[in-house]
Amino acid sequence: MPSANASRKTQEKPREVMDAAEDFAKERYGVSSMIQSQEKSDRVLVRISELTVQKADEVVWVRARVHTSRAKGKQCFLVLRQQQFNVQALVAVGDHASKQMVKFAANINKESIVDVEGVVRKVNQKIGSCTQQDVELHIQKIYVISLAEPRLPLQLDDAIRPEIEGEEEGRATVNQDTRLDNRVIDLRTSTSQAIFRLQSGICHLFRETLVNKGFVEIQTPKIISAASEGGANVFTVSYFKNNAYLAQSPQLYKQMCICADFEKVFCIGPVFRAEDSNTHRHLTEFVGLDIEMAFNYHYHEVVEEIADTLVQIFKGLQERFQTEIQTVSKQFPCEPFKFLEPTLRLEYCEALAMLREAGIEMGDEEDLRRSALLTLYELIQHLISCCCCSSTPNEKLLGRLVKEKYDTDFYILDKYPLAVRPFYTMPDPRNSKQSNSYDMFMRGEEILSGAQRIHDPQLLTERALHHGIDLEKIKAYIDSFRFGAPPHGGGGIGLERVTMLFLGLHNVRQTSMFPRDPKRLTP
């Protein structure tokens, strides 16, 4: 299939083309014509991960990227890469390769994709710099399938260097904007590959757990007719001759599904927040893992189901994604994520007491809205359900205190003051200042916000009026509860935050493939 030297773009200089005329190996290398599905091929391409001593002395074909190439006398050493795997390869002047062929190999631009035929050879000394440490590939043929441009906007080796190594040894690292501007290359690093494979695993474990628990997956619309929750943080869409809005959460639709007897539902989808926040943990578009379920008598039935779902995710990640966790920790070292079974549940007032004991000045619950801790909720009040409170020093401190006392990175904070939660939050019948609502935290940062929702249209109307919400705008929502509605609750989890905090990373842009914030809309 590869027709040697039949190149659309050649990197050889004219003089070398002339040399090629006398080159005995000239059919053994070159730039292939573009693969346009000209013909089918029986050739088997072997995965680099399969190149082990079991394959010693076999002739194999491999398609891979040229990670590095280095000429050394009459030889050229290449590192060939395929996702997180790589192998050393060698072209040496001899029976299979001419001087020109070695030179060709040495000049292939990094990140080009090549097809090589080679013999797998066992090596005497382990090759520490490659994942395939016990073998190398002795190349007999090499064809460029897709040629990379000579200048890369960032070097992969720099992109996986730990910050500390860069700082202490004065070696190059890559800043975040360069990474994001050139995301197609940045995503090729072993770290990025591991982060997004693990993220794919979070979604898989989330659904697997919920399907086993009898939940039904739903799809909710993202274009909605009214910015029901105040409207300050909502994106406006031109919808034919009118305006529409992007959903800040699937919550209203999840609840309608509960009123429509689906009983237990989940969805995974984009969530939009027009907040002008440029922090390490805010995105204008993120992925929500949402749960909603009817319960029998107490909203803790919901809390337990959600917490157990997260625990099953943590366990699944530690069982199935240990390689990815280790890969990321090489660049971003962190303590393994710890959690308890069952999950620790603290009441809000207990958390206040812990903070006070640690010397944080704090009023009683009545004064909470004026206290320092309020920053925890400043944003939540006008937002829908999940992932929106700002991370404050107190929140992080509480995380550290909980870790010291209970040895867990994951806990539930229950019974938030009613005043700081959205209008549809069920008040606590035993304490009119409290509510049946909760947040969940990982490594001291909030990853889920949820509550028992009001399922009675009369109380819902009262609470909406209390919050100054225009009843006309939420009429369809309130009407959903007029034809029999079971008690229910739920919550929304931010996928990028869970990924970030599980891996101990420090910026949510590392865990969003193509992040969106007030200043970034590309690529």
Binding piece for a copy of itself, criterion CB under 8 A, among 345-353, 364-372, 441-449, 479-487: 479-487
Give least dist CB 467 to a copy of itself, A.
18
Binding marks (x or -) toward a copy of itself, 12..41, rule CB under 8 A?
A: ----------------------xxxxxxxx
Shortest spacing between CB 459 and a copy of itself, in angstroms = 7
Closest by alpha carbon to 391, among 483, 277, 504? 277
Which of the stretches 86-94, 129-137, 254-262, 342-350 binds a copy of itself when contact is defined by CB under 8 A? 254-262
Q: Say if strands 410-414 and 344-347 run parallel, antiparallel, or are unpaired.
A: parallel
Residue closer to a copy of itself (CB basis): 147 or 317: 147
Write out the catalytic residue numbers. Answer: 273, 275, 281-282, 446, 449, 497
| Beta carbon of residue 312, minimum distance to a copy of itself (angstroms, whole number) | 17
For residue 50, which amino acid is it? E
Cβ 93 to a copy of itself shortest distance, Å: 26
**By CB under 8 A, which span of 131-139, 166-174, 203-211, 341-349 interacts with a copy of itself?**
203-211
What x-and-dash track marks residues 207-246 binding a copy of itself by CB under 8 A? x---x----xxxxxxxxxx---------xxxxxx-x-x-x
CA distance 480 to 487: 13
48, 55, 62, 65: residue in contact with a copy of itself (rule CB under 8 A) = 65
| Complex with a copy of itself: residue 396 or 516, whichever CB lies closer | 516
Phi-psi category of residue 405: left, alpha or beta, with phi > 0 → left and psi -120 to 50 → alpha: alpha
Contacting range for a copy of itself; rule: CB under 8 A; set: 49-57, 121-129, 143-151, 359-367 = 143-151
- Select from 95-103, 330-338, 397-405, 515-523 the region that touches a copy of itself (CB under 8 A): 515-523
Binding mask 311-330 for a copy of itself (x = CB under 8 A): --------------------
User: Helix/strand/coil (H, E, C) string of 208-270?
Assistant: HHHHHCCCEECCCCCEECCCCCCCCCCCEEEECCEEEEECCCCHHHHHHHHHCCCCEEEEEEE
Give backbone dihedrals phi and psi of 208, rounded to 5 degrees, phi first. Answer: -55, -45
By CB under 8 A, name the one of 276, 350, 366, 470 that touches a copy of itself: 276
- Cα distance between residue 235 and residue 106, in whole Å: 52
The token pair that represents 372 in the structure block: 């320092």
Query: Which of 72, 204, 320, 433 is close enough to bind a copy of itself by CB under 8 A?
Result: 204
Instruction: Find residue 119's DSSP bridge partners.
Output: 59, 138
495 binds a copy of itself (CB under 8 A): yes
Query: Min. distance of Cβ 399 from a copy of itself in angstroms?
Result: 26
**Residue 285 interacting with a copy of itself (CB under 8 A):** yes
Smallest gap from Cβ 60 to a copy of itself, in A, equals 14
Q: Which stretch binds a copy of itself (CB under 8 A): 22-30, 51-59, 396-404, 477-485?
A: 477-485
- Nearest-5° angle of CA 352, CA 229, CA 437? 30
Asked if 472 is part of the footprint of a copy of itself (rule: CB under 8 A), the reply reads no
Cα distance between residue 171 and residue 165, in whole Å: 7
Using CB under 8 A as the binding rule, whether residue 422 contacts a copy of itself is answered as no
**CA-wise closest residue to 327 among 86, 53, 66:** 86
Backbone angles phi, psi at 141, to 5 degrees: -145, 145
C-beta separation of 426 from 436 below 8 A? yes
Q: What is the Cα 106 distance to its own chain's centre?
A: 36
Nearer residue to a copy of itself within complex by CB, 72 or 475: 475
Interaction between residue 434 and a copy of itself (CB under 8 A): no
- In the block, tokens 């076999």 appear at 58
Touching a copy of itself, residues 74-113 (CB under 8 A): 82-83, 111-113
Among 75, 92, 162, 197, binds a copy of itself (CB under 8 A): 197
With vertex at residue 42, the alpha carbon angle to CA 36 and CA 43, rounded to the nearest 5 degrees, is 85
The rounded distance, in Å, linking the Cα atoms of 521 and 523 is 6
Among 122, 320, 358, 514, binds a copy of itself (CB under 8 A): 514
CA-closest candidate to residue 381, choices 418, 421, 411, 431: 421
Smallest CA-to-CA distance from 306 within 484, 490, 125 is with 490
Looking at beta carbons only, is 393 or 523 nearer to a copy of itself?
523
SS (H, E, C) 98-144: CHHHHHHHHCCCCCCEEEEEEEEEECCCCCCCCCCCCEEEEEEEEEE
The residue written with tokens 């029901």 in the block is 228
- Least separation in angstroms between CB 511 and a copy of itself: 10
Residues numbered 152 to 191 that lie near a copy of itself (CB under 8 A) are 152, 183-188
